[in-house]
Structure 1
């Protein structure tokens, strides 16, 4: 089973994936966690290129950025996702193609362009379930600022943390549009609650799929 977790910055994806993994391990479900960009050794190098501010100050143009994200995805699918599915494991991925649709789409890349690249890179591969953690970007960015301040880092975790509220609002609107277009695959989960409440909401959507696949559920 292939499950992806999506959402705006600060929505709590990493926390929820770890909570899910712990629950799956307790139930004896063979599971693997990965992420994009950076789910492979080569992808880690691409992640650094994509998400860290470059010392030169130069920024990727939207088309270059798009191609790098899809290069990372192609390697990730070939090296991690397909082998995991072929071995019968459940794979949880922190961001996948919907993030590209939301973030690069918010930068002006057309759906037609992303469709063409998706045909090449994904083929017929699609997640069985996508969970979008949804919240007001004004609140989620406050979480990001508090997290970075607590960590005491001189640099933001990713350069997207420095984008404007308007940009993150456009990203959220695109996530909402994705959920509306594909309700059979995509589920919105309100993320402005406690981690435990969000986890139980996620589990309510995931557990029926696990049960139908013969996996144990609580």
Structure 2
């Protein structure tokens, strides 16, 4: 049986990494207890950018704050994300799905639409074309959008410290990104589910588990 791709999306500070960790633990616990008899081969956690060895180098270029006079252009940024995605889809996602794994991915195509399309205000039709090329048409089976107010998200990353190049962009940029995710929710419908990311992480995790549990029942006839 083919595996399934669950993607986590959201603005900076929305808690994607934390929620992926919680979901991975929850799934592994159920698997070890035999609660998922028709469960996939296993769980793989990955990310974009940086989910491959080549992608890690691309991630460094994309996220490291500029140290010199030459900054990364918006178009170059877009193409680097596309290159990372193409490598990741072919080397990680497709092999994992073909061997029946459940894949939890931190960011996918909707991030490019939100960040480069709405945030950088690049051409959306161009982005759609690049996403199609980079993914080979592979779409997520479920996307969980951790929805959070922009100000709250930026406060979280400021408290955390050591912000990256994208996180350091101005608040208007991040507001446009949030608008982009809102637009994607309308386009994708039931495969793109908004999850309130403002409560405590444990509360958000319970909500995520409820949603994923319902989809597991559909996918694996639990």
Q: TM-score range by the shorter chain?
A: over 0.9
Instruction: Identify the residue that residue 50 of structure 1 maps to in structure 2.
Output: 62
Q: 1:97 aligns with which of 79, 94, 109?
A: 109
Question: Distance between the aligned counterparts of 2:50 and 2:69, measured in 1?
Answer: 22
Whether the 8 Å CA contact 2:66–2:165 is kept in 1: the answer is no
Partner in structure 2 of residue 62 of structure 1? 74
Shift of 1:215: 6.8
Structure 2 residues not aligned, in runs of 5+? 32-38
TM-score of the superposition, structure 1-length normalised? Answer: 0.92
Counterpart-to-counterpart distance in 2, 1:55 and 1:120: 32
In the alignment, does 2:24 pair up with 1:21?
Answer: yes
* 1:164-175 equivalences in 2 (<5 Å): 164-175=170-181
Aligned CA RMSD, in angstroms, stands at 1.2
1:76-91 matches, within 5 Å, as 76-91=88-103
Please, which moves more after superposition, 76-85 or 198-207? 198-207
Superposed CA offset, 1:111-153 (max 9, x none): 11011112211222100000010111101111101111xxxxx
How far did 1:184 drift?
2.4
Q: How big is the shift at 1:6?
A: 0.4
Q: Distance in 2 between matches of 1:215 and 1:135?
A: 33
Alignment: residue pair count: 209
Match of 1:204 among 196, 199, 210: 210
The alignment's TM-score, normalised by the length of structure 2, stands at: 0.91
